[in-house]
C-alpha cells in the first residue's frame, strides 16, 4: 500500500495578509487586494494594477543577500514549521522551493547598468540575492539546516511542482519530512513583460467572467509541511489534509498560449485523481488556475470537462486570483495552502469579480463570497505555466487523528527500480557527439574552437522563438535521445541552470528603463523566465513528461541529473533527460559567478562559448524491455549541504583498479573530498582543464563518465560536483 502523505503545516504570505488565518478569513469574505502598484514606477504601463504585499521587512545580514521574495518565504516557511511543530534538527527534513523572480526586483537596476557598462568590474553584494537558489539558501540559514534543498522553476506552476517533487522524496524514503511551496516577489521585469503581452486586465481581474481581459499580478509565498502519516503519528503531529495525488507534465504546445483543447491538462487531472484513489463523483471542489486571461479560463474549462465529464456540473470551481492576483511562482504553493484549508474547514473560497459568468464557461461557480459545505471528499488544485508546464494536486481529508504511537515510523522500502543511463550527448565547439564521442572527449586530439551554428541543425520555422540556450538544449536533448534510440513523446526533461537568461534580462530591462514600458518586446519576455528553455525544448521535441528547471549554482547540472533520476525511480516519468545549456554570458562570467560561486575561483581557462550536454535516464526494467543499450547504471547517488564531510564516509569505495573519477573542474575541495574516500588515487579527469570553464561542465562530466563506462574504457566512474556549501556524488557502473 502506498504511504499516506499528511499535510501537517501551512504557511502563507499573501496580498490579503501575513499568515494563513488573516489570508483565509479575508478570502472567504471575498476581500480583494488588487490596486495601483506602489512598489515601483508604473507610468506608461498598460495597467497599473497589482496585488502587493505590504510591509515586507528584508533582513540586513548577510549584506546584499536578501530579497523580498526570500523574506516572504522565510515568514511562510516559519509559519508552516511552527504549525507542524517541526524543527529541521529533529529529523531528516528536506526543503523544495519553487520560484521565478527571486531577487530580480532588488537587482534589475544593477542589471541594466551592467548592460550599459560592460567593462564595469564591480560585483555589488546586492547581486547575491539574484540567483533563484538564494531563497533556499536564506531559508536554510534561518530555519535549517535542511538535509537537502532543491530549487526549481516551472514558471507559474513552480510552487505546485515543488510540492509534487517533495511528495516523491517522501515516497522514496529520502526524507522524513519536507517543506515545499513557492515564493515570488513583484518586479519590473514580470510586470512589464505581462503588460507587454496584453495579459493584464485594466480592472482587477475577473476569472471566468464574460468581460475578462487578462489577469492581475500578485506576490507572496505559500508553503506546506508534508510527512508520511506513520511518522507524523509518532511525532504526535495533527494532520490538516492529505496530499493524495499529483501529476506533472507539459503540453508541448506553445510558449505562451495554452492548448485550447486542454488535452494534456485533462490527462494530468485524470492521473492525479486516479493516483489519489478517488473518482470524479467524489471530487467536491476545484481551485482553478483561473488567471482571468481569455485563453487560460477557456482551456481550463475544456480540460476539466474532458477529465471529469458529467460530474463537473455539480463540482464547485473557483479561482483566488481576483483577490490575491496571480502570484506567479508562488501561486501553486499559496493555492495548495488554500485548497488544503478548503478540505479541512469544509468551506469554499469564492471567485471575486465574477459578475457576469462567461456563458461558454459553464462551471458551477462560487461568486463573490465563500460558503460552508457539508463535506469536501476531495479537492483539486491546478497550476499552469509558460511553455505549457503543468502540475495538478489532489487533497483529501485525513482519517481521524489517532493517539501518538511509540513505534518508530518505518521508512518505506526503496521502490527497487534501478535507473540507468541509455544515452548521452555533448554539443558545442567540439561538435555534436553521443556516447562514442564523449568517451574520448577528454583524451582525443585538441578541440578546435569553431563555433557551432545551432540553426544549421534545427527546423528554422519551429525554432524561430528559441534563444541560444534553448537551441543548444534542444540539440543536446535530441542527440541524447537519438543516442538512446528513444522517442521524445512521453519523456520528461530537467534542465540545470545556475543563473538563467541574465544577459537577455539585462538588455530587456535596459531598454525598458531607457525607452519606457511600451518598448518592451512581448516575444522576448517569455524567454527571460527561468524555465523558458525547458518549455521550448518540450515544445520543439514534443516531450510531454514532467519539465522544469533546477538550480544549484555551479552544481546545477549535477542537481538536474539527481532530479531526473528521482523522477524515473519514483515512476513519475518513464524516461527523463537531464540537460545543461548555458549561453556565453558576460554578466555571469564577470559578476555572478565570482560573487556567488566557488567554481570561478578554480577556473583555469574561462570560456564564454556555448556548450550543452544531456543524459537520458530510464529504469533498468524499461530499458531492457525495449532492448536498449545500457551505458551504465546509477550505482550510488549522494547529495548534501555543508562541506560533504559526512557524505564522503557514505561513498562506497571503487570496486576495480581501473575505476575513474570525472569532475567538472579540479579544486582543492575536490582533492580534499576524494582524499577522505577510497577514490583519491584513481585516474582523474577534469572537464575544465580540457574544455575551459563553463556552467554545464557538471553535465559533461556525467556524460563522459557514462560513456567511458558504457564503451568499456572504465568499469565504473565517480562524478563529483562541488559548490559552496553543497555537493553531489554519483557512481556509474557497468550494467
Do you find a cis peptide bond into 11, omega within 30 degrees of 0? no
CB of 517 vs other proteins, minimal distance in Å: 10
Do you find a cis peptide bond into 147, omega within 30 degrees of 0? no
DSSP bridge pairs for 547: 493
Range in contact with other proteins (rule: CB under 8 A) among 253-261, 376-384, 559-567, 621-629: 253-261
Closest CA to 352 of 382, 383, 379, 318: 318
CB of 386 vs other proteins, minimal distance in Å: 11
Q: Is 457 in the site for other proteins (CB under 8 A)?
A: no
DSSP letter for 228, please: E
Q: Annotate 133-161 with DSSP letters as a single string.
A: HHHHHHHHHHH---SEEEEEEBTBTHHHH
Q: Annotate 79-108 with DSSP letters as a single string.
A: HHHHHTT--GGGTTEEEEEE-S-TTHHHHH
Q: Which residue's CB is nearer to other proteins, number 418 or number 519?
A: 519
DSSP letter for 489, please: T
Distinct helix (H) and strand (E) counts, the chain: 23, 28
Length of the chain: 735
For residues 584 and 574, what is the distance between their CA atoms, to the nearest angstrom?
33
457 among known catalytic residues: no
Asked if residue 175 lies in contact with residue 94, where contact means CB atoms within 8 angstroms, the answer is yes
For residues 698 and 714, what is the distance between their CA atoms, to the nearest angstrom?
19
Q: How many residues bind other proteins (CB under 8 A)?
A: 21
Q: Which residue's CB is nearer to other proteins, number 371 or number 464?
A: 464
CB of 295 vs other proteins, minimal distance in Å: 8
* Site of grid cell 577534469: 686
Q: Is 713 in the site for other proteins (CB under 8 A)?
A: no
DSSP letter for 126, please: G
Per 3-state DSSP, the chain is made up of helix, strand and coil in percentages (nearest 5) of 35, 25, 40
Alpha-carbon distances of 571 from 90, 166, 327, rounded to whole Å: 29, 14, 30
Given 519, 571, 595, 672, the residue binding other proteins (CB under 8 A): 519
Given 407, 461, 627, 712, the residue binding other proteins (CB under 8 A): 461
CB of 443 vs other proteins, minimal distance in Å: 38
Q: Which residue's CB is nearer to other proteins, number 415 or number 514?
A: 514
Q: Which residue's CB is nearer to other proteins, number 8 or number 293?
A: 293
CB of 197 vs other proteins, minimal distance in Å: 6
Which cell numbers hold the place of 403? 493517539
Q: Is 514 in the site for other proteins (CB under 8 A)?
A: no
Which cell numbers hold the place of 621? 526494467
CB of 203 vs other proteins, minimal distance in Å: 14
Read off φ and ψ for residue 244, nearest 5 degrees: -95, -30
Given 196, 296, 538, 581, the residue binding other proteins (CB under 8 A): 196
Q: Is 203 in the site for other proteins (CB under 8 A)?
A: no
- Label residue 292 left, alpha or beta by phi (over 0 means left) and psi (-120 to 50 means alpha): left
Which of the following is catalytic: 130, 253, 289, 602? Answer: 289
CB of 301 vs other proteins, minimal distance in Å: 19
Q: Which residue's CB is nearer to other proteins, number 501 or number 664?
A: 501
* Site of grid cell 554545464: 696
In three-state secondary structure terms, 642 is coil
Q: Which residue's CB is nearer to other proteins, number 526 or number 546?
A: 526
DSSP bridge pairs for 492: 576
Given 141, 257, 586, 689, the residue binding other proteins (CB under 8 A): 257
Strands 379-385 and 389-396: antiparallel
Q: Is 465 in the site for other proteins (CB under 8 A)?
A: yes
Q: Is 456 in the site for other proteins (CB under 8 A)?
A: no
Q: Which residue's CB is nearer to other proteins, number 255 or number 278?
A: 255
Given 55, 413, 460, 649, the residue binding other proteins (CB under 8 A): 460
Cβ contacts of residue 173 below 8 Å, gap of 6+? 411, 412, 413, 414
CB of 318 vs other proteins, minimal distance in Å: 26
Over 656-682, what HEC string results? CCCCEEEECCCCHHHHHHHHCCCCCCC
Range in contact with other proteins (rule: CB under 8 A) among 517-525, 607-615, 690-698, 710-718: 517-525
Range in contact with other proteins (rule: CB under 8 A) among 24-32, 381-389, 459-467, 710-718: 459-467
- Counting beta carbons within 10 angstroms of the beta carbon of residue 686, is it exposed (0 to 12), middle (13 to 18) or buried (19 or more)? buried
Given 523, 604, 625, 645, the residue binding other proteins (CB under 8 A): 523
Q: Is 521 in the site for other proteins (CB under 8 A)?
A: yes
Q: Which residue's CB is nearer to other proteins, number 197 or number 553?
A: 197
Given 87, 371, 464, 683, the residue binding other proteins (CB under 8 A): 464
Q: Is 45 in the site for other proteins (CB under 8 A)?
A: no
CB of 612 vs other proteins, minimal distance in Å: 20
Asked if residue 276 lies in contact with residue 377, where contact means CB atoms within 8 angstroms, the answer is no
Q: Which residue's CB is nearer to other proteins, number 485 or number 518?
A: 518
Which of the following is catalytic: 156, 301, 559, 596? Answer: 156
Range in contact with other proteins (rule: CB under 8 A) among 17-25, 114-122, 271-279, 512-520: 512-520
289 among known catalytic residues: yes
Q: Which residue's CB is nearer to other proteins, number 213 or number 608?
A: 213
DSSP letter for 481, please: H
Q: Is 261 in the site for other proteins (CB under 8 A)?
A: no
Site string for other proteins, 96-125 (x = CB under 8 A): ------------------------------
Given 35, 85, 213, 713, the residue binding other proteins (CB under 8 A): 213
Closest CA to 381 of 252, 241, 218: 241
Cβ contacts of residue 415 below 8 Å, gap of 6+? 171, 172, 569, 570, 571
Q: Which residue's CB is nearer to other proteins, number 105 or number 194?
A: 194
368 among known catalytic residues: no
Q: Is 518 in the site for other proteins (CB under 8 A)?
A: yes
Q: Which residue's CB is nearer to other proteins, number 429 or number 521?
A: 521
Which of the following is catalytic: 115, 130, 253, 326? Answer: 326
Q: Is 254 in the site for other proteins (CB under 8 A)?
A: yes
- Counting beta carbons within 10 angstroms of the beta carbon of residue 60, is it exposed (0 to 12), middle (13 to 18) or buried (19 or more)? exposed
Q: How many CB atoms lie within 10 A of CB 386?
A: 25
CB of 256 vs other proteins, minimal distance in Å: 5
Range in contact with other proteins (rule: CB under 8 A) among 143-151, 456-464, 607-615, 639-647: 456-464
Which positions are annotated as active-site residues? 156, 289, 326
Residues in touch with other proteins (CB under 8 A): 46, 196-198, 213, 254-257, 455, 460-461, 464-465, 518-523, 526
Amino acid at each position: 500500500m502506498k504511504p499516506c502523505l499528511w499535510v501537517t503545516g501551512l504557511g502563507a504570505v499573501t496580498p490579503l495578509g501575513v499568515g494563513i488565518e488573516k489570508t483565509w478569513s479575508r478570502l472567504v469574505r471575498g476581500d480583494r487586494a488588487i490596486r495601483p502598484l506602489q512598489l515601483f514606477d508604473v507610468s506608461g504601463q498598460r495597467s497599473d494594477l497589482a496585488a502587493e504585499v505590504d510591509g515586507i521587512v528584508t533582513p540586513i545580514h548577510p549584506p546584499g543577500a536578501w530579497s523580498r521574495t526570500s523574506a516572504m518565504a522565510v515568514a511562510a516557511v516559519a509559519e508552516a514549521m511552527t504549525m507542524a511543530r517541526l524543527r529541521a534538527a529533529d529529523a531528516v527534513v528536506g526543503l523544495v522551493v519553487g520560484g521565478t523572480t527571486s531577487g530580480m526586483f532588488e537587482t534589475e537596476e544593477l542589471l541594466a547598468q551592467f548592460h550599459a557598462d560592460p567593462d564595469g568590474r564591480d560585483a555589488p553584494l546586492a547581486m547575491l540575492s539574484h540567483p533563484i537558489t538564494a531563497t533556499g539558501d536564506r531559508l536554510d540559514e534561518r530555519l535549517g539546516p535542511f538535509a537537502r534543498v532543491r530549487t526549481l522553476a516551472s514558471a507559474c506552476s513552480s510552487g505546485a511542482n515543488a510540492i509534487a517533487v517533495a511528495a516523491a522524496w517522501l515516497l522514496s524514503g529520502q526524507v522524513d519530512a519536507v517543506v515545499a511551496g513557492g515564493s515570488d516577489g513583484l518586479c519590473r521585469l514580470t510586470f512589464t513583460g505581462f503588460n507587454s503581452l496584453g495579459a493584464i486586465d485594466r480592472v482587477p481581474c475577473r476569472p471566468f467572467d464574460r468581460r475578462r481581459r487578462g489577469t492581475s499580478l500578485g506576490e507572496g509565498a505559500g508553503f506546506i509541511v508534508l510527512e508520511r502519516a506513520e511518522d507524523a503519528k509518532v511525532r504526535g503531529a495533527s494532520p490538516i489534509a492529505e496530499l493524495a495525488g499529483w501529476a506533472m507534465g507539459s503540453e508541448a504546445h506553445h510558449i505562451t498560449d495554452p492548448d485550447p483543447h486542454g488535452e494534456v491538462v485533462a490527462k494530468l487531472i485524470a492521473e492525479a485523481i486516479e493516483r489519489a484513489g478517488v473518482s470524479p463523483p467524489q471530487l467536491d471542489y476545484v481551485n482553478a488556475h483561473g488567471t482571468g486571461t481569455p485563453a487560460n479560463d477557456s482551456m481550463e474549462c475544456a480540460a476539466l470537462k474532458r477529465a471529469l465529464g458529467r460530474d463537473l456540473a455539480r463540482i464547485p470551481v473557483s479561482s483566488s486570483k481576483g483577490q490575491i492576483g496571480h502570484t506567479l511562482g508562488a501561486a501553486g504553493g499559496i493555492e495548495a495552502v488554500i485548497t488544503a484549508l478548503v478540505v479541512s474547514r469544509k468551506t469554499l473560497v469564492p471567485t471575486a469579480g465574477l459578475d457576469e459568468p462567461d456563458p461558454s464557461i459553464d462551471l458551477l461557480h462560487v461568486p463573490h463570497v465563500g460558503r460552508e459545505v457539508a463535506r469536501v471528499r476531495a479537492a483539486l488544485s491546478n497550476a499552469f505555466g509558460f511553455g505549457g508546464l503543468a502540475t495538478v494536486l489532489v487533497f483529501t481529508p485525513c482519517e481521524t487523528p489517532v493517539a501518538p504511537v511509540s513505534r518508530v515510523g518505518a521508512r518505506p522500502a526503496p521502490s527497487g527500480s534501478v535507473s540507468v543511463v541509455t544515452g548521452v550527448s555533448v554539443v558545442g565547439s567540439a561538435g555534436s557527439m553521443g556516447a562514442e564521442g564523449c568517451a574520448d572527449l577528454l583524451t582525443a586530439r585538441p578541440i578546435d574552437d569553431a563555433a557551432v551554428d545551432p540553426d544549421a541543425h534545427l527546423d528554422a520555422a519551429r525554432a524561430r522563438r528559441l534563444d541560444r540556450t534553448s537551441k543548444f538544449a534542444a540539440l543536446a536533448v535530441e542527440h541524447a535521445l537519438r543516442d538512446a534510440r528513444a522517442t521524445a513523446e512521453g519523456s520528461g526533461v530537467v534542465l540545470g541552470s545556475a543563473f538563467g537568461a541574465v544577459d537577455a534580462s539585462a538588455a530587456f530591462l535596459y531598454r525598458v528603463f531607457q525607452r519606457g514600458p511600451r518598448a518592451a518586446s512581448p516575444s522576448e519576455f517569455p524567454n527571460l523566465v527561468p524555465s523558458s528553455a525547458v518549455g521550448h525544448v518540450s515544445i520543439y521535441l514534443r516531450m510531454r513528461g514532467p519539465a522544469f528547471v533546477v538550480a544549484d549554482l555551479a552544481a546545477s547540472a549535477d542537481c538536474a541529473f539527481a532530479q531526473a533520476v528521482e523522477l524515473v525511480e519514483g515512476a513519475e516519468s518513464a524516461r527523463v533527460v537531464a540537460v545543461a545549456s548555458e549561453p556565453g554570458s558576460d554578466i555571469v562570467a564577470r559578476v555572478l559567478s565570482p560573487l556567488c560561486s566557488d567554481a570561478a575561483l578554480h577556473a583555469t581557462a574561462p570560456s564564454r562559448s556555448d556548450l550543452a550536454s544531456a543524459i537520458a535516464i530510464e529504469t533498468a526494467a524499461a530499458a531492457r524491455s525495449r532492448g536498449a543499450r545500457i551505458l551504465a547504471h546509477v550505482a550510488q547517488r549522494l547529495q548534501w549541504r555543508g562541506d560533504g564531510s559526512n557524505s564522503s564516509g557514505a561513498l562506497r569505495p571503487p570496486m576495480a583498479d581501473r575505476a575513474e573519477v570525472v569532475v567538472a573542474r579540479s579544486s582543492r575541495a575536490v582533492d580534499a573530498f576524494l582524499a577522505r574516500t577510497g577514490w583519491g588515487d584513481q585516474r582523474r579527469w577534469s572537464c575544465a582543464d580540457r574544455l575551459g570553464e563553463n556552467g554545464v561542465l557538471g553535465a559533461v562530466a556525467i556524460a563522459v563518465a557514462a560513456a567511458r563506462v558504457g564503451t568499456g574504457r572504465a568499469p565504473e566512474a565517480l562524478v563529483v560536483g562541488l559548490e559552496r556549501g553543497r555537493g553531489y556524488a554519483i557512481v556509474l557502473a557497468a550494467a
